[in-house]
């Protein structure tokens, strides 16, 4: 039997996303930063948005070390005007968006009856309304292209309830429902809508308290799931991925 060598092994493509444009919301830190870097590593041009100018500039510099075409913009993705500007300027700079990762999110925890209307609006607007607004803005060009991936970062809290999680769970259960319906509406246009549900992740996200680092996910774990989705063969899509820590807390 001949030994396996580099000459008789089919090497994987190193930049499968070359020529593809990706937009990652909340891309200036944590999970969003990891996803943006992973997509750039796969060859995609990448646009990111966030609210912190310094953080955006820092991540943009990291991205430019991996891929030359990068765009960043300060944006509030809960507002129609900011979303329209973000999508318009991204496509003017980089080209039509083929991959959208709706990642931006926040958590406010505690009994629902103790929370204010302002708390409710802030969580639902950030975690759910933004998914609707940004997806709606990006979909027309995807339909024209006849392809695209929309990946919504949800949570296992979108499948499970827990004490003090009323507002957060409501937003993430909403993401689950919206994602499923969008998938059915758009699949005939060649657009794949996926949802990723991570468990606890070690990031700056304001969760329910400190976690044992050995018993939580890393941001790169979520980025790896996104890479799986966008490199899936063209005849299928991964509709929902649950990502859990190996060891229970």
Q: What is the pLDDT of residues 38-49, one digit of tens each?
A: 999 999 999 999
pLDDT tens string 37-79: 999 999 999 999 999 999 999 999 999 999 999 999 999 999 9
Task: For residue 93, give the CATH number of its domain.
Answer: 3.40.50.720
For residue 7, is pLDDT > 70?
A: no
Whether the predicted model's global pTM rises above the 0.85 cut:
yes
C-alpha angle 119/122/123, rounded to 5°?
85
For residue 181, is pLDDT > 90?
A: yes
The span from the CA of 161 to the CA of 126, in Å, is 19
Residue 176, domain member (yes or no): yes
Active-site residue (options: 50, 108, 131, 168): 168
Please say if 168 is a catalytic residue: yes
Give the model's pLDDT for residue 13.
60
Six-digit token string for 193: 């809508």
Residue 230, domain member (yes or no): yes
Residue 246, domain member (yes or no): no
Six-digit token string for 226: 């996104």
Residue 247, domain member (yes or no): no
Q: Which domain holds residue 181?
A: 21-234
Residue 33, domain member (yes or no): yes
Residue 241, domain member (yes or no): no
For residue 8, is pLDDT > 80?
A: no
For residue 248, is pLDDT > 90?
A: no
Mean pLDDT of the chain: 92
Residue 86, domain member (yes or no): yes
Residue 243, domain member (yes or no): no
Contact 216, 183 (CB under 8 A): no
- Looking at the chain, the whole-number percentage of residues with pLDDT higher than 90 is 87
Question: Nearest to residue 42, comparing CAs of 55, 24, 25?
Answer: 24
CB-hemisphere CA count at 13 Å for 178? 24
Rounded to whole angstroms, what are the CA distances from 63 to 28, 41, 211, 227? Answer: 11, 8, 29, 16
The span from the CA of 246 to the CA of 206, in Å, is 22
Give the model's pLDDT for residue 210.
57
pLDDT tens string 196-239: 999 989 866 545 555 677 789 999 999 999 999 999 999 999 99
For the beta sheet containing 240-243, the strands, ordered from the edge strand earlier in sequence to the opposite edge, are 70-74, 45-50, 21-24, 99-102, 148-153, 191-198, 240-243
For residue 247, is pLDDT > 50?
A: yes
Give the model's pLDDT for residue 172.
98
Looking at the structure of the chain, the number of domains it has is 1
Contact 228, 241 (CB under 8 A): yes
């Amino acid at each position: 039997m001949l030994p396996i060598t580099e000459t008789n092994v089919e090497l994987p493509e190193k930049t499968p996303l070359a020529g593809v444009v990706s937009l990652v919301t909340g891309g200036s830190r944590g999970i969003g930063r990891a996803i943006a870097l992973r997509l750039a590593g796969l060859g995609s041009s990448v646009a990111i948005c966030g609210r912190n100018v310094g953080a955006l500039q820092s991540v943009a510099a990291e991205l430019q070390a991996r891929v030359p075409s990068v765009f960043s913009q300060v944006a509030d993705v809960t507002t129609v005007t900011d979303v329209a500007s973000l999508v318009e300027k991204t496509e003017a700079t980089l080209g039509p968006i083929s991959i959208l990762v709706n990642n931006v999110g926040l958590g406010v925890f505690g009994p629902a009856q103790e929370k204010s209307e302002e708390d409710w609006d802030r969580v639902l607007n950030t975690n759910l309304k933004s998914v609707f607004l940004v997806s709606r803005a990006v979909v027309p060009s995807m339909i024209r292209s006849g392809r695209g991936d929309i990946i919504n970062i949800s949570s296992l809290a979108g499948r499970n309830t827990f004490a003090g999680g009323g507002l957060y769970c409501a937003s993430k259960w909403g993401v689950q429902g919206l994602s499923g319906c969008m998938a059915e509406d758009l699949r005939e246009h060649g657009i794949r809508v996926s949802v990723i549900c991570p468990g606890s992740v070690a990031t700056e996200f304001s969760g329910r308290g400190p976690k044992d680092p050995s018993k939580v996910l890393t941001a790169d774990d979520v980025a790896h799931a996104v890479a799986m989705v966008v490199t899936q063969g063209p005849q299928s899509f991964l509709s929902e991925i649950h990502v859990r820590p190996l060891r229970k807390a």
